[in-house]
């Protein structure tokens, strides 16, 4: 038969990439689009990154690298985790790949058999569920939209069955920006120990935490889970290196080795030039550049709050991290805008883009029906103008 596989047919294209692509296309057509859709810092990568990338090209580092990444970069990742969290990992227990996204896929592929269940707090990043399914697993979503976007231990526990293999965490969270505190992290770690589960901890937003909130590193807080935890991180967000495509994992040798074998058959290795650029970033951009960008995000976050708080009919839980705000639209759905029925979040976001050229992502893409996500990783001017148009749009709803 010429049919697609069931896996391919069941796959939903990435909604964030789709909205982002549509917004870019409208921009190319000359429409004054302001995009809050993609989780991508507007900053150019730090100078140290650019220079290290140039240097790698000029030196002719244009060959295959070891499949798990160049040793210098794996060592730099270890040094980073030692410096920030006091954790000791050997360079061989690090896998470098073409972004946190494929590294996460390798982790799931390395641990899941058909029918295995993965507990995921929801709202959740779109790709988790699709990747779990591609790997033969089944997601078990644990709702936390009504508990401040932080999962309760009771609900997590209730979601565990004999088929549960893993719990997949993401704090600071995409799409809610929620940051789990130390107590929550310790509780989840204990749950994993009690039920013999693997933890995959997606720490990609670990540097982007604001105000009094603190990032809680689960292995540092609870060393007993070190031999069951795969940490996933990367340079895309904190180092403004989305386009270079470098992510990594740290974890027990058993898992990292298997993930490396999978990657070896998939991509061989991440781009050699990008690996050197990431090395330059970890070595020379960590102390100043990352903090300068974090402070800028922090100011934008305050600006976003001040503007959103003036808009009636919407609500949101104030996020402590990442660069997202998940906005509850339920008070506006079921109404109309210039005759267009706003039946659900998808209709709302599509009409908002068409009528005000403001791109946001519908919350249903994150298992948060009736909401929309804005990413405030763009300039303050864009934030002001985009949210002015959003306020205008909301005021026109009848």
Residues near ligand PLP (CB under 6 A) are: 39, 99-101, 125, 170, 174, 202, 204, 234, 236, 242, 247
Nearer of residues 234 and 260 to ligand PLP, judged by Cβ: 234
Lookup: tokens for 389: 């148009």
Q: Which of 93, 78, 99, 71 is nearest to 255 (CA)?
A: 93
At closest approach, how far in Å is the CB of 26 from ligand PLP?
21
Q: How many CB atoms within 10 Å of residue 251?
A: 27
First to last CA, the chain: 51
Residue closer to ligand PLP (CB basis): 204 or 262: 204
CB nearer to ligand PLP: give 15 or 314: 15
Q: Are 36 and 360 in contact (CB under 8 A)?
A: yes
**CA distance to 238, 243, 359, 378, per residue, from 374 (Å):** 18, 20, 8, 10
Strand order in the sheet with 315-316: 315-316, 324-328, 371-375, 361-362
Longest dimension (CA), the chain: 62
Smallest gap from residue 159 Cβ to ligand PLP (A): 20
Residue 217, H or E segment: none
Q: How far is the CB of 234 from ligand PLP (least distance, A)?
A: 4
Minimum Å distance from CB 98 to ligand PLP?
A: 8
Taking the complex as a whole, how short is the minimal distance between the CB of residue 20 and ligand PLP, in angstroms? 11
**Closest separation in Å from C-beta 244 to ligand PLP:** 9
Give whichever of 116 and 206 is closer to ligand PLP, judged by the CB atom: 206
Task: State which residue, 99 or 393, has the beta carbon closest to ligand PLP.
Answer: 99
Q: Residue ranges of the alpha helices (H) in 289-344?
A: 289-308
Residue nearest to ligand PLP (CB): 99
Please classify residue 243 by burial: count the beta carbons closer than 10 Å to its beta carbon, then call 0-12 exposed, 13-18 middle and 19+ buried: exposed
Tell me how many helices (H) and strands (E) the chain has.
14, 15
CB closer to ligand PLP out of 19 and 100: 100
């Amino acid at each position: 038969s010429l049919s697609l596989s069931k896996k391919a047919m069941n796959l939903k294209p990435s909604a964030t990439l789709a909205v982002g692509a549509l917004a870019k296309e409208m921009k190319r057509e000359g429409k004054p689009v302001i995009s809050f859709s993609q989780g991508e810092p507007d900053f150019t990568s730090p100078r140290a990154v650019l220079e290290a990338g140039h240097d790698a090209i000029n030196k002719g580092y244009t060959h295959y690298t070891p499949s798990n990444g160049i040793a210098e970069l794996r060592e730099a990742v270890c040094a980073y985790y030692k410096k920030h969290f006091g954790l000791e990992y050997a360079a061989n227990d690090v896998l470098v790949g073409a972004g946190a996204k494929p590294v996460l896929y390798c982790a799931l592929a390395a641990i899941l058999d058909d029918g295995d269940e993965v507990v995921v707090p929801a709202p959740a990043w779109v790709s988790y569920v699709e990747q779990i399914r591609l790997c033969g697993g089944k997601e078990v979503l644990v709702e936390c939209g009504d508990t401040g976007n932080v999962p309760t231990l009771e609900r997590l526990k209730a979601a565990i069955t004999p088929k549960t293999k893993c719990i997949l965490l993401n704090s600071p969270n995409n799409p809610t920006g929620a940051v789990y505190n130390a107590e929550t992290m310790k509780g989840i770690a204990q749950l994993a120990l009690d039920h013999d589960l693997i933890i995959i901890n997606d720490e990609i937003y670990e540097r982007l935490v604001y105000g009094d909130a603190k990032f809680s590193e689960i292995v540092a807080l609870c060393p007993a889970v070190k031999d069951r935890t795969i940490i996933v991180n990367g340079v895309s967000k904190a180092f403004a290196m989305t386009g270079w495509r470098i992510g990594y994992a740290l974890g027990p040798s058993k898992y990292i080795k298997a993930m490396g074998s999978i990657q070896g058959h998939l991509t061989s290795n991440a781009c050699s030039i990008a690996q050197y650029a990431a090395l330059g970033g970890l070595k020379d951009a960590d102390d100043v550049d990352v903090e300068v960008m974090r402070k800028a995000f922090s100011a934008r976050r305050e600006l976003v709050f001040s503007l959103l708080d003036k808009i009636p009919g919407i609500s949101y839980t104030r996020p402590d991290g990442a660069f997202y705000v998940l906005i509850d639209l339920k008070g506006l759905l079921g109404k109309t805008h210039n005759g267009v029925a706003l039946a659900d979040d998808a209709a709302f976001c599509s009409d908002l883009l068409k009528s005000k050229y403001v791109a946001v992502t519908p919350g249903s893409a994150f298992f948060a029906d009736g909401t929309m996500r804005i990413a405030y990783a763009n300039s303050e001017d864009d934030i002001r103008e985009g949210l002015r148009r959003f306020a205008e749009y909301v005021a026109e709803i009848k």
